[in-house]
Structure 1
Amino acid sequence: MEKWAAQELQYADLGDTRRKKRLISIVENLAS
């Protein structure tokens, strides 16, 4: 599932890589 979320959000520009990682984590948790 992680690859799916990372792939979908790879171009998200949130200004900080930590925010992007957090967003991917949240999406993974919501999808599971």
Structure 2
Amino acid sequence: MFLGLFTSGIQALIFATLAAAYIGESMEGYH
């Protein structure tokens, strides 16, 4: 149970980081 929540948290953190990096590049590329 705990391991599942931990894994989900890690995946969410990685996804958020990749999304932020992608948006950051898009914003810089737009400007």
TM-score by length of 1: 0.52
Q: Which has the higher helix share?
A: 2
| Aligned alpha-carbon RMSD (Å) | 1.3
Consecutive unaligned residues in structure 2, runs of 5 or more:
19-31
Question: Can you give the 5+ residue segments of structure 1 that lack an aligned partner in the other structure?
Answer: 1-14
Normalising by structure 2, we get a TM-score of 0.54
Q: Which has the larger radius of gyration?
A: 2
Consecutive aligned runs of 4 or more in structure 1 exceeding 3 Å deviation: none
